[in-house]
Structures are given as structure tokens and as C-alpha cells.
Amino acid sequence: MLSRLMNFLRACWLPSSDRYVQPGSDAAGRQDGLLWYKDTGQHLNGEFSMAVVQANSLLEDQSQVESGPLSTLESGPYGTFVGIYDGHGGPETSRYINDHLFQNLKRFTSEQQSMSVDVIRKAYQATEEGFLSVVTKQWPMKPQIAAVGSCCLVGVICGGTLYIANVGDSRAVLGRVMKATGEVLAIQLSSEHNVAIESVRQEMHSLHPDDSHIVVLKHNVWRVKGLIQVSRSIGDIYLKKAEFNREPLFTKFRLREPFKRPILSSEPSISVHELQPHDQFVIFASDGLWEHLSNQEAVDIVQNHPCSGSARRLVKTALQEAAKKREMRYSDLKKIERGVRRHFHDDITVIVVFLDSNLVSRASSARGPSLSVRGRGINIPAKTLAPSMET
């Protein structure tokens, strides 16, 4: 009897990858057409909710929640890691980040025996270098992998501190209760790197003063070299190393003039926040959500409903807005197949992390059961490059 009970408890906390959890079970989340969701789960600092809706033929968004040890050492810090990786040009980079970034972070946390901005920066750098090695190896057989990249948004809660790191245009928004009014204020925690933002265009011009065409307005959308909207990413090696910006890469990705220094950067913007008792939750989401909802709208939706299902509720609201913009019914939008669906909205990934102040205030050495959950899409062969969609 005791052994059966232990097996049951152990199963509840094993990482929810296909190797450990039966698809369709609550622990692995649920699939409803192109929507995958896990309405509620428990991390070391509170509850969380997670949802992904697929629009591309191959899901380019990848995501994960890891809670428990943040290093490879038994004595190392414990906490919660959240990652959202919005890929473009294909799923290879976002999948690579999903498999390697957290492991890199644990390695550097072990070396420094603590969590820090430096640990996170090194984890990003190691992940970028690792994907460059993949591109270098695969270039002769699959040169288009040089034009695949991903945004990368990370949150780490450790010892009452929240670290937010970002490259690209995914976003993290804090919901904070205002003591005076009881209202919940939306506070954006992440910096974005999209040249639609004037300050980002100015940054690109200052970094490349000798290139008057570093940012170009193309089809009424600002793009770096007329190709891509984000100025920072993991991958996109064709805009970082000139040796990969040549034949046999597709002509549309090749620049007319060779470049001497990287055009895009993989350097994350990192901010540090000491969590307060009135900090209620953090919404992590790819830009597919923020195209349809403002920060405050998203925070109000979470605040005014039960915790369970928060992420799915945000995704549904974004899809309803997408349908409204196209003057169609939400029920009709849901019938559109992946691939074609991309003309109506992007892949959307949302993770809502609730903050229990009693748990957050505990030291980073506080132990608890480990958890590992990854967002999912429709399973298709992993080796195929997705049809390129401009980002």
C-alpha cells in the first residue's frame, strides 16, 4: 500500500514530457484542436496556468516551466524558471532553446553557487553559441537553418527576487495591487527589441552609423535590413556572421553588400525586481497575445477571474479579438487549419505565474517537489523546416 502511494506521489511530480506522462492526462496538459492548455499547476512560489494556440504549420512557439533546483548541486538555490521562445523561419531555434537554455542556466548557477544577472547572461550566450554550432554543422546539408531564429523571454524567481531577461518582442507584465484603491496595475517588466519602436530604431542607427539602410520601412512595417522586425534574437545567424549570408542561402535572405560586424545581437536585456506582498502575478506571453490585448486588459482579465484557466482565458480573448478584426465569428476562426490560420493570428503562448507572498518570501534554499512542463502543439516530424513566415 505504501509503495503504491509513493509511486502515485512520484508520478505527480515527474517532468511532463512524453517519456514520463501519458498524453491527454492532466499532468501533461490537454489538447483541444490547435489549443494546448494546462489550466493549473503548482510551482515553488504559487500556482501557474499555461496555454498555447498553434497558427503555423509547425508550432514555432516553445515554452517551459521548471520549478525546483536551479543548479546541479544539492546545496544550490531552488526556485521557478519560466521560458517563452517565439521562433521565426522555423521551429529549430526555439526547440533548441527549450532543450538547452535551462540546463545552461543550472550549469552556471552551480559554478557561481548563486543566481545572478551574470548567470542568466552566460546562459543566453552559451545557448547562442550552441545553436551556432548546430548551424555550422548543418549548413552544408540544410543552409536555410541559418535564417531560423527565436525571441527568448525568461523569468526566474529565486529567494524573493524576480529576474526578467529578454531578446526580441515577447513580454512579461506584472499585476500589482495598489493599496490605496485596490485596483491592479499592469507593470511591464521586460524591454522589447522590435524596430517598430522608435527607441529601438535609434539604437540600431547608433550601433550602425555607417549604414543608412540598417532599418527600412517595407510594406508599412519597419524591418532590420528590410528582413526582420526584431533587433535581438537567438539564432538568425545569417545576420550575425557574414560567412552564412551567401549561397546556397535563399536569395531573399542574402544581403547585397557583405557586413563586417553582426547586424543582430543576442545580448539580453535583464532587469531585477524584489517581489513585494502586493505583487499578485506575472503574465509571460509571446507577441501573438500583445498584438490583440494591452497590458492592462490582460492584467484585468487575470485579476477578475479564478486563477485556474487564466492562460487559456487570455488566449481565447486574443482569438476573439483576432476574429473581430477580420469581421468573422470566433467559432469560424477555430475551424481554420494550422498554416492557413497564420493569416489570422500568430502562434500564441501564455504562462501566468501567480505569486504566493508566503512562499515567495521563503529563502531560495527552500525545498519542494520538482516540476517540469512544456507547452505543446500538433505533433509532426521534427526534421522539416517550416514554411518561412516573415517576422
CATH, residue 304: 3.60.40.10
Q: What phi-psi label fits residue 236: left (phi over 0), alpha (psi between -120 and 50 degrees) or beta?
A: left
Neighbours of 313 (CB within 10 A): 22
Q: What is the pLDDT at residue 370?
A: 85
User: Which amino acid belongs to residue 34?
Assistant: L
Assigned domain for 209 exists:
no
Residues in a beta bridge with 157: 80, 162
Mean pLDDT of 133-144: 96
Percent of the chain past pLDDT 70, that is, above it, reads 88
Residues in a beta bridge with 270: 165
- Dihedral angle sign, alpha carbons of residues 201, 204, 210, 213: negative
Does the structure show a pLDDT above 90 at 390? no
Assigned domain for 261 exists:
no
Assigned domain for 318 exists:
yes
Assigned domain for 219 exists:
no
- The band of 5, judged by pLDDT with boundaries at 50, 70 and 90, is very low
Mean pLDDT of the chain: 88
Burial of 34 (0-12, 13-18, 19+ CB in 10 A): buried
For the entire predicted model, the pTM comes to: 0.89
| Secondary structure of residue 364 in the 3-state scheme | coil
Q: Which residue has the higher pLDDT, 28 or 219?
A: 219
Assigned domain for 387 exists:
no
- Domain enclosing residue 362, as ranges: 37-192+232-247+267-375
Mean pLDDT of 229-238: 97
Q: What is the pLDDT at residue 17?
A: 34
Assigned domain for 19 exists:
no
Query: Could you tell me the CA-to-CA distances from 344 to 206, 218, 326, 336 in Å, in that order?
Result: 35, 20, 8, 9
Q: What is the number of structural domains in the chain?
A: 1
pLDDT single digits (tens) 366-383: 666 789 999 988 765 444
Nearest 5°: the CA angle 170, 131, 16 is 65
Q: What is the pLDDT at residue 382?
A: 41
Task: Out of 111-115, 163-167, 311-315, 357-361, pick the least confident.
Answer: 357-361
Assigned domain for 260 exists:
no
Query: Could you tell me the CA-to-CA distances from 143 to 136, 173, 267, 285 in Å, in that order?
Result: 9, 37, 24, 30
Q: What phi-psi label fits residue 64: left (phi over 0), alpha (psi between -120 and 50 degrees) or beta?
A: beta
Assigned domain for 14 exists:
no
Omega of the bond leading into 258 within 30 degrees of 0 (cis): no
Query: Could you tell me the CA-to-CA distances from 302 to 66, 169, 277, 306, 330 in Å, in that order?
Result: 22, 21, 18, 8, 21
325 vs 294: CA distance, rounded Å = 15
Q: What is the pLDDT at residue 389?
A: 39
